Amino acid sequence: MSLQGKTIVITGAASGIGAACAAEAKSLGAKVIAVDRNEPTAGLCDQFIRADLSRADSIDAVAGEIQGGVDALCNIAGLPPTRGGALVLQVNFVGLRRLTLSLLPKLNDGASIVNLGSLAGFGWAEQVDQVRALLDVDSLDDVATFCTQHGGDDARAYFLSKEALIAWTLQRRWQWRARGIRMNAVSPGPVETPIHQDFLQTLGERAEEDMRLLERAGQAEDIAPLVAFLCGEGSRWIRGVNIPCDGGMAAHILCQQAGID
């Protein structure tokens, strides 16, 4: 597989899965534009744009920093539950969506959008009323009010951010079909990144149970090749799909639900 000649925007490229995706894309020949609050390691990208996905003005300034067309947008940046519910919802979904929509004029026809979901968003259909409510939040400034109205702890906010992201991905499966722009999601299970301990701290027994079922935690390098594939021409007929990359956890949950385990 080659990404030679493609320009790919990757958010969260300074660390974790985002950094692994940037390294993978570079190794396949892509020009990488990194969007992050922190500057990536030297050589990991061709252009760095500093941005804060919790601030509308910062998000809206990104498009103006990009010269030429973009072949793929990888929305990898995200915050763990320990950062607080409102900020998590802003960065992981509302800000991500605002950035995506603001970059649409920059995307070339046939471009790919890849959203980083999570195993935490697996049960979105069971929480559809709350997911719909978050989908209706248009402004970053309205997130605090949403949190007050809907309650829930910081862990629930993280789950909801990923549920909404997956639902939005499926919902927009044909939104930009006239231009050949496709959007998909990748949902990792437990991955050893700089924020892995934040999840263990917040989710406690649930996270520990997941780790006991797996032979090992995932690595960022396990996720990056799938993201890269979804950026390339080989995925051109894949639209509106959420693909688990979780060591078998999604299959385990489905088998348990169907009673065939």
Catalytic residues: 158
* Encoded amino acid at 198, one letter: D
The residue count for the chain? 261
Q: How far apart are CA 186 and CA 238, in angstroms?
A: 12
User: Under a CB-based contact definition with an 8 Å cutoff, are residues 77 and 53 in contact?
Assistant: yes
Retrieve residue 28's tokens. Answer: 């396949």
- Which CA distances in Å does 224 have to 21, 172, 189, 212? 5, 23, 13, 24
List CB contacts of 148: < 8 A, sequence separation 6 or more.
none
In degrees to the nearest 10, what's the CA dihedral of 84, 86, 92, 95?
-140
How does DSSP assign 41-66, residue by residue? PTTS-SEEEE--TT-HHHHHHHHHH-
Q: Classify 79 as helix, strand or coil.
A: coil
